Amino acid sequence: MSSSALEDLFRGLVFYGTGGGGRAEAGLALLRGHFGEDWTPRFTAPADLPPGSHACATIVIGGRDPGDDMPVALRAALDVPEADLAMPLRFARAVQALERSTGTEIAALAVVELGSLAMAATLVAADMLGKAVLDCDGTGRSIPELGLAKLDLVGLSPAPAALVDRFGNETVLLKTRGAAMTDQLARQINAAVHGRGLACAAYLAPIGSFAAGLVPGSVAMAHEVGAILGGTGSVAERLAALFARTGGRQLFTGCTTEVCWRSAEPYRFRDLDYYFAGTEMEAGETFRIWVKNEHHLVWQGNRIAASSPDPIAVLDARTLEPLTTLGDVEPGREVVTVAVPALDPIWRTTPGLELLSPARLGFEAE
């Protein structure tokens, strides 16, 4: 895969990250630091694994890190290393911890969600361990917490889950009360080390059961979408190609007027709202996006225009680069916002619609 093709893949991963999942640049830097410039990722179809194989899912569990890092005196008292453990090494150790604690050899890894950081770290960790990386993910987009994936809808549990933090501490949750409790416990560990994210290996299962919880073709679709957005045509031509391929639609073009944080609590979620003044065809209209790590709800005036589980992407109006919720959207930035249908039909079922609904994510009607 050429350097530009790899960039297309990671642009698409950020698109389906719907604001979460990290920036493309961070993921690409991890890959190039490990593999060099000219490297082609190799993905494996679940059907190509031996029937008796086991697989697990990988995800970064984090949130809004505090502005100040752990004080020097506290670091010394806790005897923690000066440098953080790289995220790929955290993932590799998490997978090994899950294997040791369950006595199960893991043949393949799949990301729980589409996103730049987890995919890059998983590819590097898999190379370190000699594992396969599957050509699909467990959701078809990014999600803010455990318990919201297709893996959950088909009845798989994240526990036992192995967690490795920035300082190399390893924690295995052998049994929990459920996915929500697994996520809660993980966030408490992340807070104890002053954030920066945990590598989590979870949802261990035989490949047949595991594959039932994956979204077929999601990685290939991310690559296609990234290539369309990074193409050479005009903005209008590339948007038309995007909608033709995905069945998506444009929600609005606009200029960011305000970014309002609903909560400044560290270690939890990026809880905020974006406000926009419509431009071009939407001149005179106002828009709002409700964010919980990712974009989950869009209003045009007082009318809901789109919501999860469909992926909602905010794109730079000039370049069509997907923007994250890590500070990319600021007052004055001009954007194009689009929504595309969810990649798996399970998100059109009643359980799927309920699991990834804004209400389930904590939105309270106003």
Alpha carbon distance 234, 148 (integer Å): 36
pLDDT at residue number 298:
97
pLDDT band for position 366 (cuts 50, 70, 90): low
pLDDT at residue number 267:
74
Which amino acid is present at 68? D
pLDDT at 171 exceeding the cut of 70 = yes
* Contact predicate 238/163, CB 8 Å: no
Average pLDDT value over all residues in the chain:
95
Please give the DSSP secondary-structure letter assigned to residue 13: H
pLDDT at residue number 363:
84
pLDDT at residue number 75:
87
pLDDT band for position 38 (cuts 50, 70, 90): confident
| Residue 29: strand pairing partners | none
Tell me, yes or no, if the two domains 3-211 and 245-355 fold the same way: no
pLDDT > 70 fraction of the chain, expressed in percent and rounded: 99
Strands (E), the chain: 43-44, 54-61, 108-111, 132-134, 161-164, 170-173, 198-206, 249-261, 271-278, 286-292, 294-300, 303-307, 312-316, 334-339
CB neighbourhood size of 41 (10 A): 19
pLDDT at 62 exceeding the cut of 90 = no
Q: Tens of pLDDT along 235-286?
A: 999 999 999 999 999 999 999 999 999 987 787 788 999 999 999 999 999 9
Rg (CA), the chain: 20
pLDDT at residue number 266:
80
* Contact predicate 215/138, CB 8 Å: yes
CA-to-CA separations, 194 to 64, 68, 197, in angstroms, rounded: 10, 9, 9
* Contact predicate 217/4, CB 8 Å: no
Segment 153-163 shows an average pLDDT of 97
Domain residue limits, the chain: 3-211, 245-355
pLDDT at 56 exceeding the cut of 70 = yes
Q: Tens of pLDDT along 326-337?
A: 999 999 999 999
With both helix axes pointing from N to C terminus, report the angle between 218-229 and 235-246 in degrees, rounded to the nearest 10.
160
Q: Tens of pLDDT along 107-142?
A: 999 999 999 999 999 999 999 999 999 999 999 999
With both helix axes pointing from N to C terminus, report the angle between 3-16 and 24-35 in degrees, rounded to the nearest 10.
140
pLDDT band for position 39 (cuts 50, 70, 90): confident
- Is the backbone peptide bond immediately before 216 cis, with ω within 30 degrees of 0? no
pLDDT at residue number 263:
82
The domain 245-355 belongs to what CATH superfamily? CV3147-like (2.40.390.10)
Q: Which CATH class is domain 3-211?
A: alpha beta
pLDDT band for position 1 (cuts 50, 70, 90): low
Phi, psi (degrees; rounded to nearest 5) at 328: -70, -30
Residues listed for the chain: 366
Please give the DSSP secondary-structure letter assigned to residue 90: H
